[in-house]
Amino acid sequence: MKKLILLILINLIQNAPSFSQEFYYWGDWYGFGIADFSNCAILNKFDKPPANSGATINVFKCPNGLFYRASEIDGGFLNNTEPYYQIINKQHQFSDVNRINERAVAACINSKSLIYIVMRSWDNYSKSYLMEYDYKSGRFTILGNVSKGLRSIVALGNKFIGIEEKLQPYRHYNIVQLNVLDPINPKILFQIDSSLWVKDYNPQITSPNFQLFKNYQSCDKAELILSCYTRFDSITNFYKLDFINQKCTQICSMDIRVYISRFIGEGIKGFDFLKDCRFEIDFDLNNSSDTSKNYRTDYFCPQQEQKLHDQDWNYYSDGPLDSLRVEIASGGVDDPNEYLKANYIPQGIILIGNKSQSLLFTSNSKIVSSEIQKILDGIVYKNELSSPSPGQRIIRTCIYVPWFEDTVYTRISIPVFENQLSDTSIWLCPDGDAYSIYKLIPSLANFNGHWLNPDLNSGVIYAGLTISGIHSYLYTRGINCIPDTMILRLNYFPNPAISLGPDQITEGNLVQQINLSGDFSNVNTINWFLNGNWVADQSRTFSFEFNQDTLVSVSVLTNDQCQFYDSTQYFIKISDDDIWIPDAFSPNGDNINDQFGIAGKYNLYIYNFEIFDRWGNQYFTACNFRIQDKSQSWNGTVINRNANPGPYIYRIEYAGTAGRKLTKSGIINLIR
């Protein structure tokens, strides 16, 4: 009779001088025994169980202390405290699916006591599928089809590694990563070639028996082991799966056929599982496709705490917390400014390394699942730098309580944060223009924020109008972060308070002298202007000849490069006697008194100059000229014909004092 051996548990004998691992196995179809994996020796054998009801696929020990045996027939389960004693516990029945010739070919258990079974129809490979079984509720759930060649699976957290048999172009095997959310499309990690066949390795006819199991060699190291034999062999070889080099390395041989083997790590106090298995597997705590709960996230807010774990951790525990380690596995370049912190430490729990890059919780006291959840929910990542180093941080959480282990990797991506805005002082010229805040402080353009002073919300400082003093700008450097505050201190350079004094009304045809008053301690240059034209510089006093209305302006440039202006208007004092009109003129061509024009004391501005006959007919008009412009005179003609001699009426509008319009009219005699 063929021997069927199932390797299911490891028992590390602690404090022993030599390393030893014991595991259970099934042999002789249903016989039970104990073997030592360290030297592949059989230590003890038990009697055979009663008559079988189908081949055994795997055996699991669950938190209730019972062993559960997955049978080939219908993927059912048998249980008792003794693994070889069979009591029917549960088998799946689906009335809507034909289960004839269907058998379970592989089974494994994950860290939450959910058992997964690969079912295959021997006469129709297309019916292979992955099924989940909850031993507490007795619920079976079909998760989806799998590759028809899937031979063995082992649970890692809530993901799976499997062996997939391929028949084309020749018989070979792939080590694959299986996703329960999409089990039909496994990811190929590497291929096993036919060199593992021991005797008859013709790949066309020989189908070796491969099975995967987890092997814990120490408290901080774990391996995936492959067992292999062919139908022509009397021994079973064990191989370590090297995921880094993508190959299998033989580690041990046993002189017995081990058809199916599985280890679940009972009795080993450990953490930091699967260090040597660096393949791409994402672990999560709730087997959820909701990535927002898996905390693969960006670290949005500098100097704030970032949660690491799901809030719905559902871990079954009925014993001590052998170990729970949370550590920054890679990328912790800001040490000691970045660290992990535990916000909840229940009574009886020992914590080593709080506020460091590695937390270790241990306890000899019994701990319930809800306390484990609170511990994990209270663990946070924090970086005290205002601008932490960008990049990815991998944070590993490894837990071990009796019967269970789990590993979760949290990825925190720290983006490139804009530098924190520093408080800024700005000095402006009080008589300047409007200034854009974003030009004065260019870094503001990269931030979302607002000014607490609503006058600045437009992003413009109106020099002289925007009040000097302290203005606060609130901004954030990440989504939902606590706002940072930048303080703007707005200052205006002092005004030298230069002054030319009030406007002046004075007699013309005189030299006027102006004395500029003000504070000249910070003055760099002085420039003088008459009616907008530059005339002099660098003097506090200024003289000019005053014979018409004149705008006097001064421009002062300070050492702060601020420009200040002042001006004053000088007006000529004008009376009626200051404009002269003759009584008669004789346009006879003798060049004596041939034109009728206006004369005056000053070069006054004439708005209108008109001449009419006694019946109101206009003979002459001129507008907007000064007295000195002699071209604006009447020569005694109208439409190129000599006007008749006699009296004519004139009317003049001219600029008086300060530009006020004055009117003068009278009679002029034309003599020929």
Closest among 320, 427, 307 to 374, alpha carbons compared: 307
Residues 6+ apart with CB under 8 A from 151: 105, 106, 118, 162, 163, 164, 165, 173, 210, 211
- DSSP helix/strand/coil, 357: coil
* Alpha carbon separation from 351 to 25, 270, 344, 356, 506 (Å, rounded): 37, 16, 10, 11, 96
For the cut 60, the answer to whether the pLDDT of residue 221 exceeds it is: no
Q: Which of 100-104, 173-177, 652-656 has the least mean pLDDT?
A: 100-104
pLDDT band at 131 (very low <50, low <70, confident <90, very high): confident
Question: What are the strands, taking DSSP E only, across 338-466?
Answer: 338-342, 350-352, 358-362, 379-383, 391-401, 404-414, 424-428, 434-436, 448-451, 460-462
Give 84's DSSP letter.
Answer: T
β-bridge mates for residue 24, sequence order: 34
Query: Which tokens hold the place of 318?
Result: 């009925």
Confidence of residue 283 (pLDDT cuts 50, 70, 90): very low
Cα–Cα distance measured from residue 129 to residue 120, given in angstroms and rounded to the nearest whole number: 7
Instruction: Tell me how many helices (H) and strands (E) the chain has.
Output: 2, 53
Task: Pick from 75-84, 124-133, 203-212, 362-371 the range whose average pLDDT is largest.
Answer: 362-371
- Position with higher pLDDT, 13 vs 352: 352
Answer whether 241's CB lies under 8 Å from 222's CB.
no
Rounded Cα distance between 337 and 150, Å, is: 47
Amino acid at 43: L
Q: Is 60 exceeded by the pLDDT of residue 503?
A: yes
What is the Rg, in whole angstroms, of the alpha carbon atoms belonging to the chain? 51
417: its two tokens:
């944060």
342 vs 23: CA distance, rounded Å: 36
Phi and psi, residue 339, nearest 5°: -160, 170
pLDDT band at 569 (very low <50, low <70, confident <90, very high): very high
pLDDT tens profile 505-523: 888 888 999 999 999 999 9
Kindly report the average pLDDT of the chain as a whole number.
Answer: 76
Q: Kindly tell me if the per-residue pLDDT of 224 is higher than 60.
A: yes
Per-residue pLDDT at 275: 34
Q: Which tokens go with 212?
A: 């995967």
User: Is pLDDT of 30 > 80?
Assistant: no
Read off the pLDDT of each residue in 36-42 and give the average, rounded to a whole number: 59
Ranking 176-190, 594-608, 611-625 by mean pLDDT, the lowest is 176-190
Contact 381, 338 (CB under 8 A): yes
pLDDT confidence band for 46 (50 / 70 / 90): low
Residue among 446, 439, 494 nearest 461 (CA): 439
Identify whether the C-beta of residue 195 lies closer than 8 Å to the C-beta of residue 214.
Answer: no
pTM for the model: 0.47
pLDDT greater at residue 112 or residue 468: 468
Q: What is the largest CA-CA distance in the chain?
A: 163
**Beta partners for 609?**
622, 652
Average pLDDT over residues 578-583: 90
Give yes or no for a contact between 115 and 61, defined as CB atoms under 8 angstroms apart: no
- Give how far Cα 88 sits from Cα of 160, 163, 569, Å: 27, 29, 116
- The pLDDT assigned to 461 comes to 93
Strand partners, 648: 668
The pLDDT assigned to 291 comes to 41
By DSSP bridging, strand 379-383 and strand 424-428 are unpaired
Task: Compute the distance between CA of residue 394 and CA of residue 326 in angstroms, rounded to an integer.
Answer: 11
Asked if pLDDT for residue 148 goes beyond 80, the answer is yes
Nearest to 234 by CA among 257, 262, 216: 257
Q: What is the pLDDT of residue 644?
A: 92
